[in-house]
Structure 1
Amino acid sequence: MAAEAPRTAQQRKQDTLTRLGRDLDAWVASADREGNAHLVPLSFLWDGGALTLATAESSPTARNLRASQRVRMSVGTTRDVILIDGTVETFSRETVPVDLADAFAARLWDARVGTTRYAYFRVTPRRIQAWREENEIAGRDLMRAGHWLV
């Protein structure tokens, strides 16, 4: 099967923003202090500049994100992927900004209620890559050092 013609960088950015606003789930990769990798699927909220995640405070992912303040995320499929490397800001149930928690609850679920204590993690992208096929690999960088290239 022949691949479609590669998208322009501008089209790839637009497609990326559309997916971030539409999709609900991502693969979230983190590592502990010894470098042991941990990978989990988590729901996310995109607000146009950052992604917000929530997971149990005691989970390996929460511990890793709090300690390293870095994350790698993947949205989409292997033939239409978005990779995001970002810095992480952590909020507890008590410190999460109300507007952020309300927006997360409206789109996904309310992590402030229930017996399990959840932490919120706001991911600010530092690098974003997106590609569909091999013919888009060369131009896959859309953001570097937190700045859009297109």
Structure 2
Amino acid sequence: MAISLVVNGEAHALDVPPTRRLLSVLRDDLALLGAKHGCGEGACGACAVLLDGKPVVSCLLPVGAAEGRTVTTIEGLDEAAAALQEAFVAEDALQCGFCTPGQIVSASALIASDPTPTREAIRVAMAGNICRCGAYPKIERAILRASGQAVG
């Protein structure tokens, strides 16, 4: 079945089963490797992408649910994500880096909807992203920094 969607600004018509997971299509068919397969249960956020600007876990989402919609992966984020990436580096908010693409995707959606989020808003928005290295305070500071707020 042909599934039509826009990924990172590029239209795609894919002949894939609509029940196939979006993460598999992104990685295997479109060679977009930023979203990772972590838990496979939607609990870790390593597979986070934006669907029409909202963060979703692509490991659970059937590609058919993305029919006619816009998907943005870490590879397709704009210059706002560059500020997040710089803030993550400046705050040492990454260690192994496995979760970082999902963290940045989720954080970019947060800042897009709330340009100056509170610490509590950051915690709520990032609750679906697990960092096994335990860099949570640094991730929070990086998001504050990227949104132009005092990190202290």
The structure with the larger Rg is 1
Q: Would the TM-score normalized by the shorter structure come out above 0.5?
A: no
TM-score, normalised relative to structure 2: 0.25
| Structure with the larger strand share | 1
TM-score, normalised relative to structure 1: 0.25
| Structure with the larger helix share | 2
